Amino acid sequence: MVAPQLAALVESGQVRVEYKQFPLNNTTSIWAVEAVECAADQGMWYAMHLHIFANQGKQQVSTNLTKQFAKDLGLDTQAFNQCVDDDKYVSAARGFQSEAQKRGITGTPAFFLNGKAIDLGTLKGWDDIPKLVEQAVNQ
Amino acid sequence: MSQKKGKSSQAIWIVAGAAVLVVGGLIALSQLSAGKESAPPATVQTGENSDQAHNVVRGVWGSENAKVVLEEYLDYG
């Protein structure tokens, strides 16, 4: 996640960061997408996004886990659980998969700058991404 | 004759009253079941952890008119 380093540029109105999901598998990735989208219904996309990343690798994502996250974050759990149980965003998640595949993405993270894919092989480190963004702003 | 008429008018009122009760009950039941199917939308939060506080709308952070757009694809699974 490089976006926090871009905060000043975003706040100045020169840069927009779009987090897009590419669920790489059909179970845990989809449940995680559902979790952030159901949280977004309550204006808590960002909080859920950070919470899932903070817990990545600690526990495997499941609907029970994301329901617990919703509770941890103080969401309306009844509405959140219903959203998850209704699979409200499963088709959206499949749409995200197709969209990413159509753009030729095969793994994550993947970055596009003004619509052009950033070749991660040319980067020395993740800090190069804010530098590329700065260069694009100054062009 | 008038006693007969009185009885039949009483019966009409009873039937009409029962019909009103049945219709009212059916309306109440349909409203209850509609309420079960679609819960009221959850309140959108505005506290310090909220999207509003971070100026994020469903994963999009920043101005619509920004000169530079950085897209990041991620997978949580």
- CB within 8 A of B52, min separation 6: which ones? A43, B44, B45, B46
Q: B56 and chain A: CB distance < 8 Å anywhere?
A: yes
Q: pTM of this prediction? A: 0.77
Q: Residue holding tokens 């219904």?
A: A41
Q: Which of B62, B77, B46, B75 is nearest to A105 (CA)?
A: B75
Please indicate if any CB of chain B lies within 8 Å of the CB of A13.
Answer: yes
Q: Which residue of B has its CA nearest to A54?
A: B76
> What's residue B35's pLDDT?
46
Q: Is B32 on the interface with A (CB under 8 A)?
A: no
Q: How many other CB atoms are found less than 10 A from the CB of residue A42?
A: 24
Please judge whether B76 and A20 are an interchain contact, meaning their C-beta atoms are less than 8 angstroms apart.
no
pLDDT tens-place string over residues B25-41: 555 555 545 444 555 56
Cα B45 to Cα A139: distance, rounded to the nearest angstrom: 38
Judge: B60–A82 Cβ closer than 8 Å, yes or no. no
Q: What is the pLDDT of residue B42?
A: 77
Higher pLDDT, A96 or B14: A96
B3's tokens = 């006693």
Residue B77 — pLDDT band, cuts 50, 70, 90? confident
Percent of chain B with pLDDT over 70: 49
Residues of chain A found within 8 Å of residue B50, distances taken between Cβ atoms: 43-44, 46-47
Residue percentage of chain B with pLDDT more than 90? 31
- For residue B41, which phi and psi values (nearest 5 degrees)? -60, 145
What was the pLDDT predicted at B76? 87
Q: ipTM of the predicted structure?
A: 0.92
* Shortest CA gap B57–chain A (Å): 8
Q: Do B62 and A20 touch (CB under 8 A)?
A: no
Judged against a pLDDT cut of 70, whether residue B50 lies above it is answered with yes
DSSP letter, residue A122: G
Question: The tokens of A61 are what?
Answer: 């994502």
d(CA B8, CA B12): 6
Q: Block means of pLDDT (10 residues each) for chain A, length 139 residues?
A: 76 95 94 97 96 91 96 96 97 96 96 97 93 95
A20, B68 Cβ separation under 8 angstroms: no
Task: Give A 98-127 residues with CB within 8 A of chain B.
Answer: 100, 105, 108-115
Q: How many CA atoms lie within 13 A of B16 on its CB side?
A: 6
8 Å CB contact between A49 and B59: yes
What count of other Cβ atoms lies within 10 Å of the Cβ of residue B75?
21
- CA separation for the pair B59, B71 (Å, rounded): 10
